[in-house]
Amino acid sequence: MRKTCLDIICEIARKDDRVVFMGSDLGVATLNRFKEEMPDRFFMEGISEANVIGMAAGLALEGRIVYVNTIASFLTRRCFEQVALDLCLHNVNVRLIGNGGGLVYAPLGPTHEAIEDIAIFRALPGMTIIAPADAAEMRRVMPLTVNHSGPVYIRLGKGGDPIVSNDLSPFVIGKGLIMHEGDDALVVTTGVMLKTAMDAAHMLAAENINIAVLHMPTIKPLDQACVLEYAARNPVVVTLEEHTIIGGLGSAVMEIIAEANYPEPKRCKRLGIPDVFPDKYGSQASLLAYYELTAGNLIKTIKQLRSV
């Protein structure tokens, strides 16, 4: 997903000389092609995230479209005020590409895991948050970021994630994608957890339980109409995200449902990472299992809620 993302930045920069790339201190040879072909639009500015965001804002105020790439936890935590003021308050066209969204950096521990990145940025006026499910979806969304107005955060997965998205519907920033139809339960998910939700949907279908899977590659602005439409016809709503249950997709969906005032209350559950710093290493997959962000637990949760 990351490679696809960076490759596309290179492609769009070739076509549009407003496009600039800026990294902090990325891996050796990152985007070498960009650097060789367009050296005056390639910046590697050191481990100085606050300054990097400010510089990007300055370039964007002058009409550039700046793609900034570093580790997601540093982009969201370290330079929050620069993102809030320099980017969001000025509403500039800077795209933040966060490596290792969620538990990707499990072996590196809690300093590097980005499990509250969505919550942090969701609170900022004007910020757009996108979490593609796989590299194919990344390829569809990235060209749309060029002319999108205002700052955008793009959350990257680990890479090599299985392809589960499809191009049956055109990608539109701010629109949800219905990936599986059903009216026994609604699962709302984002990013790479779409795969887990789809696995659960297929397993449940074999038991004649049909769930709707709503994929929200754009978490902000969230497609409220789509949530309301599918929640209205399902008695059970479960959200699934590789993120703390505080302030992320689950919170956003439940805020909408709470204010919808359905005549029959919905039975709801947010599945995500509990309110802790992960206390184990291992791998993204092992931590997802540890926090029960699995198809098995999703199925169990749906069945429990349906039987209430």
Provide the binding-site residues for another protein, judged by CB under 8 A: 40-41, 43, 45-46, 48, 50-64, 81-82, 85-86, 89-90
> Roughly what angle, to the nearest 10 degrees, separates helices 295-307 and 193-205?
60
Q: How far, rounded to the nearest angstrom, does the alpha carbon of residue 260 sit from its chain's CA centroid?
A: 25
Q: Closest by alpha carbon to 74, among 65, 83, 61, 87?
A: 83
| Rounded Cα distance, 103 and 242, in Å | 7
Between 48 and 286, name the residue whose CB sits nearer to another protein: 48
Between 46 and 274, name the residue whose CB sits nearer to another protein: 46
Distances (CA, A) of 8 to 3, 37, 122: 9, 14, 25
* Least distance from another protein to the Cβ atom of residue 61, Å: 7
Handedness of CA 30, 32, 34, 40 (dihedral sign): positive
* Least distance from another protein to the Cβ atom of residue 52, Å: 8
Between 40 and 207, name the residue whose CB sits nearer to another protein: 40
* Least distance from another protein to the Cβ atom of residue 149, Å: 14
DSSP H helices, 85-127, are 117-122
* Least distance from another protein to the Cβ atom of residue 228, Å: 34
* Least distance from another protein to the Cβ atom of residue 124, Å: 14
Q: How many residues does the chain have?
A: 308
Residue 21 β-bridge partners: 42, 67
Between 96 and 135, name the residue whose CB sits nearer to another protein: 96
Between 15 and 207, name the residue whose CB sits nearer to another protein: 15
